[in-house]
Structure 1
Amino acid sequence: RPKGPDLGRVANLEAPGEVVVFFGDSITRGYGVRAEESFPSLLARDLGIAIVNAGVAGDTTAAGLARLERDVLPHHPRLTLVEFGGNDFLRRVPLEETLKNLDTIVKTLIAQGMIVVILEVNVGLMGDPYLKGYGAVAERYGAVLVEDILSGILSKPDLKVDAIHPNAQGHRLIAERVVKVLRPLLQEADRRRGPMGRQSLDFPLPAFQGVG
């Protein structure tokens, strides 16, 4: 079950900026559902945040790593949610390669000064070593882990559009799991940033000029 993050261990809580990037594969992209039904869109509405959906169907951790600089860094996100691994498993990519790529993705994002949330995916029988690997990467860099976002979804045909992709109801369940972690995380991050709250610290302009 998703637990609230241990906020004392989270890196970059005072990160500037406003945008939240969702960086992942077809689950993030919302394959098989309308854009507004995807869990990133639901979270944008639930939390009142500006998001970029940088999900690409079929992506492995290697493909994600290859497009990190193009698809994430230019947005200067305050926070990035990373969701990869399912396609690695389905394509039998060696576990150590998957975890090495995930490690590099998270390390790069943390070094850029943003908060990082890892969304753990367990498609089929990925097993303990896979899932322990996600947790180890999160621990290493002060990222936040949301455990098994697909739990109870993949075993229920009425929550999926096919063998591995959630339907609109499945995406709502994912959003409900992630929001339990994201809401307290963003509240604490806002508190750390002080009276500026959610205004971007990148632009020292009066608030009315910064609206756009």
Structure 2
Amino acid sequence: MRIRTIVEAETTAAERMREWGYSDATPLFGGAGGGIDVYSSGAYAVVCWRGKSATAHDVERLYGARGLGRRDLLFFSGRGYDDDAYSYADSVGIALFEIDASGTAEPANDQARAVVEAARSRAAADTAPADAPPDPAESRSLLRRLEPAARVARSILRPVVAPLAAVGRAHWRILSAVFFTVLLVIAPFGSDMVALRVFATLVAVVGAPVCWFLAYQYRQTRARRR
């Protein structure tokens, strides 16, 4: 669509803004925006389509219309900008674009180029391919390479772990009884949390006699077998 009127220019500016990530950019025809021609929750824009080059005064009005908000400010001109407009826009961070009759909006300062580059970066991130799932064959190959190291580790740990496991199987009752007895002694005084002290004490009160009974019963059984 070729731009012939200010309404078409504002519509085109809103389209460009939506392409750059301002998804709710909406033209406000007829000056309904109080100096804002395109509204977005993330940006305000002014469109100067006819007349002379935009001046610093034109750009300053956009900055004043933002008020205390933190929206981005974009200015579209169909006739370019004078030097003072560039200087003022750069000083306050307004993005300047030159828009032609074909609807193309070209960045005219660094702030505008940053807007376009940010949009391109987001688009590239959205279209980036997802990470490929791991190859099962590669995983199996890795396991095969690790198997010798695993065998060595088992051979080293077996002489240590086996006796400990045997002791645990034979004496878990007496070990548990000692643990719960110690817990019964320290639980009432061991924490600033009353609920935790009560819980630990109850566990110890139940666990200690049960484990001592099991240890005694196990010892009696072994004595009879002898």
Q: Same fold (TM over 0.5)?
A: no
Q: Which has the higher contact order (CA 8 A, sep 6+)?
A: 1
Q: When the two structures are superposed, what TM-score results if normalisation uses the length of structure 2?
A: 0.37
The structure that has the greater radius of gyration is 2
Q: When the two structures are superposed, what TM-score results if normalisation uses the length of structure 1?
A: 0.39
